[in-house]
Amino acid sequence: MKRLVKTVAVSAALLAGVALAGSAVSISNAEAGELNLLTWEGYSEPIITQKFQDETGCKISLTYVGSNDEFPAKLAGGSSIYDMVSPSIDTTGILAKMGVIEPIPIDILGDNWLDIYEDFRTHPSITGDEGWMPPEGYLWAVPYAWGSINWMYRADKFDTPPDSIDLLWNPEYAGKLSLWDDKTNIYAVARYLYGTDINVYDLNDEQLAEVRDKLIEAKPQLRKYWATAGELIDLYAKGEVWFSNSWGGYQSAILQEQGIPVVEFMPKEKADGWQDAWQIVKGTENMDCALKYAAYSISPYAQCQMAINVGWSAANAEAVKECLSKEQFDALHQGDFIYLDNLDFWQEPVRVDKMIQTWNAVKAAQ
């Protein structure tokens, strides 16, 4: 999958084998198995993982999700066909509390661990919190990538560029708008209704009801709810959708390469920020491969290939300094703490069941 940041000369040192550096776990090809990953589109494509497979013999197979709610649903019950998952930090803690995740020893991550953004390394959804701490020296998840849920529009359809999500309630655009099929729409609309200082992850019943009704009010303007990156790309390419939320930097780059004039923007209501992390599923029969992949995921090689070919910002900013030009580094907001401060980074909702019920009520409404 090509990206705007695609023409980068990766140093010979990276290509030569730093991918597995810093890990205390040893895997021979004879011991290796198949690593089944439940993940997002683009995260573990061959351009990122082939080196890992060649060097360890661990064969990777992929299953994609379209929202974070799929992770707990697929792992519920305590048994799973998956070995690793890559949820966002509003979900990593949920999985840990469910008892379906294995803690990860910090020492297998090597020196690359210390190059992860400090706020990511110390986030409670990574390190655990009161009542659900992992054993000393362990983590619940390894940060991998981050970005935004920005908003996007067809530049050729608007005389005045939008600066707000208020288009969702404008009948002039009926049938030309789309929303991600995900409960995080609640966060965006809560900020729209109550301002950007509200804690959108702890809404009371009255606030949830108001957000629900406001989202239902937007339904006549919606072409559909999109579930996958490819689905939204197709809607824009066919001219069926002019405005939507998006996985910031992902669909827009692909559409621009196709000549579709789309523009991303951060609305005055702010945008969601996400951080995704790798977790190991409890009871995996491929623990050696999983531990090695956890270490590999934050290595310079893997982080560079992810940033270059998928376009997400790297959790290990130090790793991508050598493979990205300054222009590319800046475009991914690596080290841009002002941009980071303007994102409302996801947190585990205080009442996640209520959030899911509210979103399901929106979708079910006629």
Largest CA distance in the chain: 62
Pair of tokens at residue 97: 């509390």
Helices (H), 251-351: 251-257, 287-297, 300-309, 317-320, 326-331, 337-341
pLDDT digits (tens, 9 = 90+) for 84-125: 999 999 999 999 999 999 999 999 999 999 999 999 999 999
The beta strands (E) that lie in the chain are given as 34-39, 59-64, 84-85, 101-102, 104-105, 138-139, 142-149, 151-154, 177-180, 222-226, 243-245, 262-265, 271-281, 313-314, 343-345
State the average pLDDT over residues 195-224: 97
In this prediction, residue 32 carries a pLDDT of 64
What are the Cα distances from residue 296, in Å, to 48, 71, 117, 191, 271? 10, 22, 17, 37, 30
Nearest in space to 278 (alpha carbons), one of 154, 136, 102? 102
In this prediction, residue 272 carries a pLDDT of 95
* Res. 31 pLDDT band, cuts 50 70 90: low
In this prediction, residue 12 carries a pLDDT of 27
CA distance 244 to 259: 18
Q: Would you call 142 exposed, middle or buried from its count of C-beta atoms within 10 A (0-12, 13-18, 19+)?
A: buried
* Res. 19 pLDDT band, cuts 50 70 90: very low
Pair of tokens at residue 322: 């050598």
User: Ramachandran region of residue 225, left (φ > 0), alpha (ψ -120 to 50) or beta?
Assistant: beta
Number of CB atoms found within 10 A of residue 68's CB: 24
- Whether the per-residue pLDDT at 151 is higher than 60: the answer is yes
**Strand 104-105 relative to strand 138-139, pairing:** antiparallel
Q: Are 188 and 270 in contact (CB under 8 A)?
A: no
Total H helices, total E strands in the chain: 16, 15
**What domains, with CATH codes, occur in the chain?**
12-147+273-345 (3.40.190.10), 149-272+351-364 (3.40.190.10)
- Whether the per-residue pLDDT at 30 is higher than 90: the answer is no
